[in-house]
Amino acid sequence: EDPILLAEFEARIARGEKIEPGDWMPALYRKQLTRMIEQHAHSEIIGSLPEGTWITRAPGFRRKMAQMAKVQDEVGHAQLLYSAAETLGKTREQMLVDLINGKSKYSNVFNYPTPTWADSNVISWLIDAGAIVNQLANAKGSYGPYCRALDRICAEEAFHLKYGHDAVVHLATGTPIQRAMMQAALNRWWPAIMTFFGPSDKMSVHTEILMRWKVKMASNDECRNQFLDMYVPKIWEIGLTVPDEKLAKNEATGQWEFTEPDWEDFKRVINGDGPCNAERIAVRRAAEENGAWVRRALLTPKTQYVRPLA
């Protein structure tokens, strides 16, 4: 890499300028951003599935409509992110192929089942909450197209958060059976929520370079801590408990203490061996195969359909 170009690039980032697609950038910046934005896009598209399966079973017409709108938003976020990733050179088709063949990762949390409506509500509230913590930080980052996509995504996620909170409060303050269902869902989802922000900073491979180039504006542990700060009091406020006896804020350090997540299980899940990985990818593969004729039709030159003039 040309040291003069690299120094100028780093100076631009230090001045808080945005890097745009036509600008010079180190090959590693391009590679890391492609990886991260692509994984983010896949997470949105796969992340729409666990809540998507609840559209037809959501209790009542209004909840069904809201659930459907939220799921559509998530798929829209994937479209925005695929477009942002494409500005770095990798095609959308290749990204979708790499999702299906298991080459590209997506968020671990969407590989767990949602056996009850309350599980879907936990995603709508707390996974979206975690996503906002991460995305609000990174929206101030250095790559223009990713930041602009994140700004728009955050605006919509803020509404998802309200929807999710409303749905959780409804069950948590409902009948004893509803409260028990909500608590059981939170117990099931808590370990996944704790891993959503990625491995601890000690184990994280990419944080150092991504923070140096202002792609990541907060480390995994910083995001996790901020999430706990903002949401644990809200969980307690509605009478739910967090299934971790060690969870407590150390007021002296400002850091939350908690049971260390099972990082071996996390690794297995992100490498394809979680409870729902095969099912999620099968849905994506079916969507690709069923939509192939539409893509073929769109790509076929229109003249082939026009009868020649006599």
Positions in the binding site for ligand BYC (CB under 6 A) = 35-36, 39-40, 43-44, 47-48, 51, 74, 105, 107-108, 123, 127-128, 131, 134, 195-199, 204-207, 210, 216, 220, 270
Which residue number, 26 or 179, has a Cβ lying nearer to ligand BYC? 26
Report in angstroms how near the CB of residue 287 gets to ligand BYC at its nearest: 16
What is the nearest approach in angstroms of ligand BYC to the Cβ of residue 241?
A: 23
Instruction: Give the 3-state secondary structure of residue 249.
Output: strand
Q: How far is the CB of 294 from ligand BYC (least distance, A)?
A: 24
Q: What is the smallest separation between the CB atom of 117 and ligand BYC, expressed in angstroms?
A: 15
Q: CA nearest 145: which of 218, 36, 11?
A: 36
Q: Which of 126, 128, 110 is nearest to 276 (CA)?
A: 110
Q: Which residue is nearest to ligand BYC (CB)?
A: 47
Contact 221, 200 (CB under 8 A): yes
For the bound state, the minimum distance from the C-beta of residue 123 to ligand BYC, rounded and expressed in Å, comes to: 6
Name the residue nearer to ligand BYC (CB basis): 139 or 270. 270
Q: Give the closest residue to 177 by CA, choosing from 235, 231, 126, 116.
A: 116
Between 205 and 299, name the residue whose CB sits nearer to ligand BYC: 205
The dihedral region occupied by 60, where left means phi > 0, alpha psi between -120 and 50, and beta the remainder, is: left
Shortest reach from residue 278's CB to ligand BYC, in Å: 16
Which residue lies nearer to ligand BYC by CB, 9 or 106? Answer: 106
Tell me whether residue 53 or residue 179 sits nearer to ligand BYC (CB atom). Answer: 53
* Percent of the chain that is helix, strand, coil (3-state, to 5): 65, 5, 30
Strands 248-250 and 255-257: antiparallel
CB atoms within 10 A of CB 280: 19
223 vs 164: CA distance, rounded Å? 20
Q: Which is nearer to ligand BYC, 187 or 200 (CB)?
A: 200
